[in-house]
Structure 1
């Protein structure tokens, strides 16, 4: 498949929201409380895109995935209960979601690889992320891709597991 990972545009919010809505529903069906409190929502996506942090994964110009990708932009991470591996610049990503039709094809991994490339292209060698303790798919992916568990961070009153991956300065995919 011919994938592209690029900045999203405001006109794409409806397609992105459809993908996230279904992901929210899947989390609910899995018995998770992640994303069950009215967040994320279309306004969140709009803010991502307005600050140039909203990215889409496409194949043949069809949007099949979404993630927010930011540099040094996560205040909650300063209050980690635990310890980050590095205190350098970092890329943080949130809201990774894949459309229903493409689940189980390793596309979250594709997005995370693109995010590594994005970090390296900005001379940043640390990726930080968090997920719910019951999001087994994401926990498994972090483990598979070499992320290390660093502790807990809190969002809207609930704990998330926090992870960091330090990239090799010579690393290129």
Structure 2
């Protein structure tokens, strides 16, 4: 299946399809009975912002069908600056030069329901690691809810190190349970 996949930046006209894939991800998370992503976030506004900053990637098959998405962000991640976990790479402070961030961060990743268990997200993470290496980055960081057992197992399988629990600081109406587990992988 992954032989026929490609990963590329999403186009503005694909914002609705990317949002649909994220909605599939929300339904998958809901099966764990946790509050992550269950109150509107992420929505089309997040997708449009990721596309505008050149961070929204999609996986498509040979027929051009979009099967997965993730945001691959460069620069200092404010939440990761504040997280009191033993990062594997240097953790620059918010407000410092973005060039100091030796990592890329993956956020808002999901696979279309019709493509689950077909290797789409594994393919996308492998391509993300290639992008990180090509940009001279040392690692990739990601976080997930402690109750998201599937994502935790997936990250462990891919060689990510579970670093510890932290609470998100950007409290908003969209997310009610702010506890996350930080992961990082050297690339």
Return the TM-score normalized by structure 1: 0.91
SS at match of 2:156: helix
1:134 to 147, 165, 173: 147
Number of residue pairs aligned between Structure 1 and Structure 2: 167
- Deviation at residue 29 of structure 1 after TM alignment: 2.8
Higher relative contact order (CA 8 A, sep 6+): 2
Q: 1:105 deviation in Å?
A: 1.5
Q: Which has the higher strand share?
A: 1
* Deviation (angstroms), 1:81: 2.1
Q: Aligned match of 2:86 in 83, 87, 94?
A: 83
Q: Which moved more, 1:128-137 or 1:30-39?
A: 30-39
Structure 1 consecutive aligned stretches of length 4 or more whose deviation exceeds 6 Å: none
CA distance in 1, matches of 2:159, 2:57: 23
The reply on whether 1:4 has 2:6 as its aligned counterpart is yes
Aligned to 1:170: none
Specify every segment of 5 or more residues in structure 1 that has no aligned partner in the other structure, as ranges. 168-173
Question: 1:67 corresponds to which residue?
Answer: 70
Partner secondary structure for residue 105 of structure 2? strand
CA RMSD of aligned residues (A): 1.3
Who is 1:154 aligned against?
167
1:94 and 1:135 mapped to 2: Cα distance?
14
**Aligned-pair CA distance for 1:153:** 3.3
Aligned to 2:136: 123
